[in-house]
A = this chain, B = another copy of it.
Amino acid sequence: MTCVIENLDEMKAWSRRLPLEDRNLGFVPTMGYLHEGHLALVRESKKICRQTVVSIFVNPMQFGPTEDYAHYPVDLERDRALLKELDVDVLFLPKKEDLYPGGFCTSVRVAGLTENLCGGSRPHFFEGVTTIVLKLFHLVQPDRAFFGEKDRQQLGVIRKMVRDLNMGITIEGRPTIREPDGIAMSSRNAYLAPEERQSARALYLALQSGKALIEKGERSADAVRTHMRSIIESHPRTRIDYVSVCDPERFTELERVEDSALLALAVHVGRARLIDNCLVENISCSASC
């Protein structure tokens, strides 16, 4: 039976009551408007953890002043039904005024990993993410937390925070879930008009094509970037935020593609800003390995 908790102290007390022996609490923090990507994380948690908490909170601190906080899609009834069906133990629904009361002024920053890619175009984004995730971790006290690889920089940043701050939580990354035509699942896909939906395929196509280019032997990161750019630009209604061929751990741009590379994109399609990425590994082996 899924228990709904809104109160912060209640959430904390619920978690504290779990028996210590073989404690294994899984946590999936979300901003709601759940899609298969979220649900795959929840199923993973259900599979490998003893209990599972899912939170839904649209975090104002990670949105810039001109971004889509006010319009972020919400469908709490549908989300509740989906999570009940998956039989999660707790649906945690904290309130904005409880998480950010008047005078709130503390923030957490992971320097070094947050300057580029999404951190470059959304300067306060990662500070907003790390701060809310740290707060939620303190409230839920999970043993494992699940994040999708679609937000691979976020995954890396949270892993670093947890390690640097000695939190002892295992961060579990899971593969991006895609629509049949390749588009990465995202709550923001709801912004796309039908013609924009077609253009949104540009991200997936550019990543696949960039990866193929590397597998064929291209080693110049600039050549790969230019190639991916041209694919995106050939799709109408797209505006590139960034096209990156970077180090998969440090998110710094590469000059040469050697052992591994992260191809990462952020593209505005209509009023949606979409991101996607593809990790290319074992590049020095033959293309078949």
Contact = CB atoms under 8 A, between A and B. Distances in A.
Interface of A: 8, 12, 16-17, 20, 99, 103-113, 130, 134-135, 138-139, 160-161, 164-168
Contacts of A112: 103, 105
A212 B112 CA distance: 50
Contacts of A130: 106
A164 B104 contact: yes
Contacts of A105: 110-113, 160, 164
Contacts of A138: 165-168
Contact of A12 (B106, B135, B161, B168): B168
Contacts of A106: 108-111, 130, 160-161, 164-165
B104 A8 contact: no
* Number of copies of this kind of chain in the complex: 2
A250 to B, nearest CB: 9
Nearest to A164: B106
Given A16-B20, A20-B16, A109-B109, A134 B104 contact: no
Contacts of A134: 165
A135 B164 CA distance: 8
Given A17-B20, A103-B112, A138-B167, 19 more contacts: A8-B166, A12-B166, A12-B168, A16-B20, A99-B166, A105-B110, A105-B111, A105-B113, A105-B164, A106-B109, A106-B165, A107-B109, A107-B111, A108-B108, A109-B109, A138-B165, A138-B166, A138-B168, A139-B166
